[in-house]
Amino acid sequence: MVDILPKIQALFLLPPGIIIVIALLGFLIQIRWQLVGSLIVFASTAALLVLSLPLTGYQLMQGIESRFAPLWLAAAADAGPLPGAIVILGGGRYTEAPEYGASDSVNQATLARLRYGAHLHRLTGLPILVSGGAPYGEPVSEAELMRAALVNDFRLEVKWVEGESANTHENARYTKMMLAEAGVRRVYLVTHASHMPRAVWSFENAGLSTIPAPMGFATLNKEDRETLGYFPSASGLHLSSAALRERMGLFWYQRKYGTTQAAPETAPAPAR
């Protein structure tokens, strides 16, 4: 099962949660120190405004997405041993999708990863592993939903289904164990560009060599670059929050999982 505590902490440490907490603190301080409280409320409101700008979110995303450039297959082939598989990480599920008979499916983020993974498979011919569990006790793992989407929507077969992981750290550990049996020690790793630093760190820390294949880079359309990027919006706040969340996630992983732990010889038995 997933460790829910870090997720709850993130709600209060990332925008808009942290800004709301600071603003409420400012209102309480105003009861006794009106000037100080007013300054805190003003500062929190200004922070919310700045973080809600699409241009701010884009710049914050650039800072983390630029750590790994888009994949160039020719350069990757010259950089060391060739990979033996394509690993696609899950990005969430579409729960009880009405248009699919109220059954679970992959969400938009996962579908985008599958699309790029399918593109990479057609370029390389390498077998695919999908990774994603059911951390909240769902009857079907995310990896099984990903496999179904690749088979039904992209007409591709999936060689390995890793459906026991609850987070990126476990994605890496269980994937390594599964691929070790096939003698695969290096992989193309597919996930969103903003998530790639944490994913690469987790896989390398687990002992599985990776060639990053980032996708889903944040971009600004013409309107945002010229006009709307200077006005606050929900999408701008989403970009800022996602960028800060990934920074916090990497920081947390490096401290919680910083020492590589010896992986068990066999993957855990399915819990369902």
Sorted by where each begins, the domain ranges of the chain are: 71-217
Tell me the H-state helices in the chain.
Answer: 4-13, 17-30, 34-51, 54-65, 73-77, 108-124, 142-154, 168-180, 196-206, 222-226, 234-256
pLDDT in the model for residue 150: 98
- Please tell me the distance from the alpha carbon of residue 117 to that of residue 92, in angstroms, as a whole number: 16
pLDDT in the model for residue 10: 61
272 residues of the chain, pLDDT tens digit each: 556 666 566 655 666 667 777 777 777 777 778 787 788 778 888 888 889 899 999 999 999 999 999 999 887 767 778 899 999 999 999 999 999 999 999 999 999 999 999 999 999 999 999 999 999 999 999 999 999 999 999 999 999 999 999 999 999 999 999 999 999 999 999 999 999 999 999 999 999 999 999 999 999 888 888 887 888 888 898 999 999 999 999 999 999 998 654 444 344 444 33
Q: How far is CA 245 from CA 10, 63, 70, 177, in A?
A: 7, 13, 21, 28
pLDDT in the model for residue 266: 43
Is domain 71-217 annotated with CATH 3.40.50.720? no
- Are the C-beta atoms of residues 214 and 64 closer than 8 Å to each other? no
The two three-digit tokens of residue 9, written as one number: 């902490």
- Are the C-beta atoms of residues 74 and 56 closer than 8 Å to each other? no
Chain centroid, CA 98 distance in Å: 25
Identity of residue 185: R
The two three-digit tokens of residue 114, written as one number: 């599958």
Terminal CA-CA length for the chain: 12
Alpha-carbon torsion angle 60, 65, 67, 71, nearest 10? -160
How many beta carbons lie within 10 A of that of residue 235, not counting itself?
A: 13
Identity of residue 36: V
Contacts for 69 with CB less than 8 Å, ≥ 6 apart: 214
